[in-house]
Amino acid sequence: MTDLETFRAETRAWLEANCPAEMREPMRDESDACWGGRNPEYKNDAQKLWMERMAERGWTVPDWPKEYGGGGLSPAETKILKQEMARIGARNPLMSFGISMLGPALLKYGNEAQKKRFLTEIARGEIRWCQGYSEPGAGSDLAGLQTSAEDKGDHFLVNGQKVWTSYADKADWIFCLVRTSKESKHNGISFLLFDMASPGVSTKPILLISGYSPFCETFFDDVQVPKDQLVGELNKGWDVAKYLLGHEREMISGMGLGHGSVTLGDKAKNALADDPLLRADVARFDVDALAFKAMSERFIDELKAGRAHPAQPSMMKYAGTELNKRRHELVMAAGGSAALEWESEASRGGKDAREWLRTKANSIEGGTSEVQLNIVAKRILGLPGA
Ligand SMILES: Cc1cc2nc3c(=O)[nH]c(=O)nc-3n(C[C@H](O)[C@H](O)[C@H](O)COP(=O)(O)OP(=O)(O)OC[C@H]3O[C@@H](n4cnc5c(N)ncnc54)[C@H](O)[C@@H]3O)c2cc1C
């Protein structure tokens, strides 16, 4: 056997022995996800056990270095682990903005002390993060942000407001873009980390059209942030911000893969027997979804090998989120008027309708589709005037 074949056999055996049966069931909704944090909420013992066993092995972040709590796996081994988890339907043991967004940025821009402390806590699921980027006047034009961090000698004094901060009311810490100079729009931004329990931080939840309230307005009123919590150089936070956004967009593009089955074929087969137009739409969708899956695999391989174009996550995010919107439009079309039902037990609390509405936000969060198209036009296609 080659080394990789041995690794696959050992991984398969370990997963069989250690992944609890409950953690092999598809997630029913967002509440089935394990987010960890200072005050973790576990749905059941199996969820806790699964997270702890995977963290112990470094497999919550399999491709991070071992010294920061990772598994130290190569890209090929990481891929095998993912395949073997998918084979038994194993759930992701830990959902975390620390893993999908902040971690990669810290690996590239963090100093040794920051890596040792924060990456290890992230890998063990001990710290839950939120993202303080958008402001009331700075969404697509993110570099226009005004939240200020004033140099007070041994600390920064942060004042301002963020908006759409996902899970800010549940997060332990925030990674936050602040203005440290007014001299230059892009070269006056810095990247700070701070505790959401710091005096002067407050949050106010905002309700979404799906009926859920996963995000907040976040206010900073004379928040003191120690200087050693600056990531990268002062006034060079835009580089960190952009790098992190690439990883965020890569993560969101995964929406295009759907949960579990990529295609709609089976779900739609019975409902659509007598509707040729809808059947054609579903067939078209299935072909596009399989093409997206292939494109996504190639993209991840290129990314891990350091060969992806820096703007490629924008292309993937656009394709994946628009595809996911089509997926849920078709689920609603196949369900007819019954799919709009919102509260009954039969509709599992309006699961289809709420998920359909949630997909509308996929093409806004992490940068809108229009903005991704602008980036693709300018940086990949080199179009004039873009
Ligand atoms: C579910 C969800 C979760 C989010 N979570 C977070 C979070 O955790 N942290 C965080 O910081 N932010 C978060 N956001 C905010 C998100 O990043 C912003 O909503 C997004 O960047 C768009 O900014 P905006 O809402 O201010 O819209 P605007 O920038 O005001 O855009 C309004 C419209 O104008 C269009 N537009 C703007 N500029 C251009 C242009 N140059 N060319 C073409 N069209 C343009 C946009 O595409 C959009 O349709 C979240 C958003 C959602 C929906």
Q: Are residues 145 and 221 in the same domain?
A: yes
How many domains in the chain?
A: 3
Q: Kindly give the number of the ligand 1 atom that is closest to the alpha carbon of 138.
A: 26
Residues with CB under 6 A from ligand 1: 130-134, 139-140, 162, 164-166, 215, 361, 364-368, 370-371, 374
| Interval 40-96: pLDDT, tens | 999 999 999 999 999 999 999 999 999 999 999 999 999 999 999 999 999 999 999
pLDDT at 268: 65
> Which one is predicted more confidently, 362 or 267?
362
pLDDT at 25: 92
Q: Are residues 271 and 207 in the same domain?
A: no
Q: Are residues 15 and 55 in the same domain?
A: yes
- Is residue 121 one of the residues assigned to a domain? no
Q: Rounded to the nearest whole angstrom, what is the distance from the C-alpha of residue 96 to the centroid of ligand 1? A: 21
pLDDT at residue 372 above 90? Answer: yes
Final residue belonging to a domain, choices 204, 235, 266: 235
pLDDT at 204: 96
> Which one is predicted more confidently, 138 or 275?
138
Final residue belonging to a domain, choices 173, 203, 235: 235
Flag the least confident range among 30-34, 326-330, 361-365: 30-34
Per-residue H/E/C for the chain = CCHHHHHHHHHHHHHHHHCCHHHHCCCCCHHHCCCCCCCCCCCCHHHHHHHHHHHHCCCCCCCCCHHHCCCCCCHHHHHHHHHHHHHCCCCCCCCCHHHHHHHHHHHHHCCHHHHHHHHHHHHCCCCCEEEECCECCECCCHHHCCCEEEECCCEEEEEEEEEEEECCCCCCEEEEEEECCCCCCHHHEEEEEEECCCCCEEEEEECCCCCCCCEEEEEEEEEEEEHHHEECCCCEHHHHHHHHHHHHHHHHHHHHHCCCCCCCHHHHHHHCCCCHHHHHHHHHHHHHHHHHHHHHHHHHHHHHCCCCCCCHHHHHHHHHHHHHHHHHHHHHHHHHHHHHCCCCCCCCCCHHHHHHHHHHHHCCCCCCHHHHHHHHHHHHCCCCCC
Final residue belonging to a domain, choices 210, 235, 260: 235
Q: Rounded to the nearest whole angstrom, what is the distance from the C-alpha of residue 187 to the centroid of ligand 1? A: 21
Q: Are residues 220 and 244 in the same domain?
A: no
Q: Grade residue 345 by pLDDT with cuts at 50, 70 and 90.
A: confident
pLDDT at 26: 86
- Is residue 311 one of the residues assigned to a domain? yes
pLDDT at 256: 87
Q: Are residues 305 and 195 in the same domain?
A: no
Q: Are residues 257 and 367 in the same domain?
A: yes
pLDDT at residue 351 above 90? Answer: no
Percent of the chain with pLDDT over 70: 96
Domain residue limits at 324: 240-380
pLDDT at 267: 63
- Is residue 112 one of the residues assigned to a domain? no
The enclosing domain of 282 has a CATH number of: 1.20.140.10
The enclosing domain of 93 has a CATH number of: 1.10.540
